[in-house]
Amino acid sequence: MREQEYNLKNLTKCPLCKAKYDNSQTFVLEEGSSRTIFHLTCSKCQSAVLAFITEGKQGVVSLGMATDLSVQEAREMFKKNPVNKEDVLEVYKYLNNK
């Protein structure tokens, strides 16, 4: 839980409307020793964001990605297809090319 609290500091606001996230709207989809994935729903604009937090040699990297998936759908997705390093890289590239 310590890790989670730390990571969430990087993602306290909705990227779309800048409203502060409510902790009750935050769900951990996957938690690993060096990677945590959250599903966040904004209480103001209701937009959902997937957040990837990875801890590597360069430090902690957090990536946010808007998603249409509900918490339940996202959970299903990650259960079936565990996210690997390459997926996170893809998200990173996607965000950089925007």
Q: Does 48 bind Zn ion (CB under 5 A)?
A: no
Please tell me the distance from the alpha carbon of residue 71 to that of residue 82, in angstroms, as a whole number.
15
Tell me the closest approach of the beta carbon of residue 10 to Zn ion, in angstroms. 16
Tell me the closest approach of the beta carbon of residue 20 to Zn ion, in angstroms. 9
| Region binding Zn ion by CB under 5 A among candidate stretches 28-36, 38-46, 57-65, 80-88 | 38-46
Q: Does 45 bind Zn ion (CB under 5 A)?
A: yes
Q: Does 60 bind Zn ion (CB under 5 A)?
A: no
